[in-house]
Amino acid sequence: MIFIVDLLLMLIDLTYSILNAIIQTFLQPRLKCIDGELCLITGAGGALGRLFALEFAKEGARLVLWDCDAAANEQTAELARELGAQVHTFTVDLSKRQSIYEAAGRVREEVGEISILVNNAGVVAGRRLLECPDELLERTLLVNCHALFWMTKAFLPQMKVKNRGHIVTVASALGLFSTACVEDYCASKFGAVGFHESLTHELVAEGHVDIKTTLVCPYIVDTGMFAGCEIRRELRSLIPPLDPLYTVQQSMKAILTEQQMICIPRLMYIPYLARALLPWDANVATYRFMGGDKCMLPFIKNAELKTSNSHIKSS
């Protein structure tokens, strides 16, 4: 009898969730106010991190900006201050756990408790697996995936005490489906997606319903990180690299409406579902048709040329 009641309740929740999602697609949902909230953004010196900082500044949030590049981080801070934001900068190496914990301690002592955490930082080796130094492979996993654990352990406890907060994970479409020659990046982003989803389930199971989570999975963003990457020529106009500002604005809309997950563009839901529903060979055939199986080769060639040129200049 209990099983039947639970089954009926589950079906009611399932129906409500689907109908609510459909309604929210067509209606303009109300945006939550984050004025005065303390928001920490990692990778704030990069293209997406800088845009996130400026968008949060426009919403009235106080900012804590982390990056390993102190100069770039300070440039972001100055732009945010011009918008009237209160900004604190910290130089942090996310590949080092102790660096994260030490910086987190300083934030708590000097600034206060974080209420919005945006895990945005990301790197890629840009080498074929067998030609890539182990240190570069490890760095990708450390920054893109392992750092999520240490960041969450540093800032989630106080969110749980207050039962409020928001954790944002900027992953990638390549955390939902993979492509060739970027094993380090795909592995790290699959790990980021798995971590984020498991954490979300844990928070719900524990009753921390006011600690929100948002998973952001964009297609390739035109920041230069994957310069040269391209799919089949006839399809490039259909799925062009994303404009960074558009990507961040769509992400902000998802964050401020407390949306649990967003793929940018929505077209990315198709290969995500296809990967789960179609046979492996069918997915391979689709990738080949789109040029997805070789799309990273120009990017890797560009990365190799940059490395070669830097060696020549340094010598």
Averaged pLDDT, 226-247: 87
CA angle 206, 208, 213 (to 5 degrees): 115
Provide the pLDDT for residue 137.
Answer: 96
Number of folded domains in the chain?
Answer: 1
Q: Is residue 24 part of a domain?
A: no
| Cβ 291 vs Cβ 234: under 8 Å | no
pLDDT at 6 over 90: no
**Residue ranges making up the domain that contains 279:** 31-314
| Cβ 193 vs Cβ 217: under 8 Å | yes
What is the three-class DSSP state of 6?
Answer: helix
> What mean pLDDT is reported for the chain?
90
pLDDT at 66 over 80: yes
Q: Is residue 16 part of a domain?
A: no
pLDDT, tens digit, 9 for 90 and up, residues 173-201: 999 999 999 999 999 999 999 999 999 99
Q: Distance (Å, rounded) from C-alpha 178 to C-alpha 193?
A: 13
The residue ranges of DSSP E strands in 111-199, in sequence order, are 116-119, 165-170
Q: Is residue 8 part of a domain?
A: no
Q: Is residue 26 part of a domain?
A: no
Q: Is residue 5 part of a domain?
A: no
Q: Is residue 15 part of a domain?
A: no
Q: Is residue 150 part of a domain?
A: yes
pLDDT at 26 over 70: no
Q: Which helix (H) or strand (E) holds 299?
A: helix 297-314
Q: Is residue 297 part of a domain?
A: yes
CATH number at residue 68: 3.40.50.720
Provide the pLDDT for residue 10.
Answer: 63
DSSP state of 213: E
Catalytic annotation present for 246: no
Provide the pLDDT for residue 102.
Answer: 98
Averaged pLDDT, 259-273: 92
Least confidently predicted of 84-98, 185-199, 231-245? 231-245
CA angle 280, 281, 284 (to 5 degrees): 90
Averaged pLDDT, 63-81: 98
Q: Is the pTM of this model over 0.75?
A: yes
Provide the pLDDT for residue 25.
Answer: 61
Name the more confident of 21 and 73.
73
Question: Residue 101: pLDDT band by 50, 70, 90 thresholds?
Answer: very high
**Catalytic entry in 16, 101, 185, 269:** 185
pLDDT at 20 over 80: no
Residue type, position 218, single letter: P
The percent of residues above 90 in pLDDT, for the chain, comes to 70
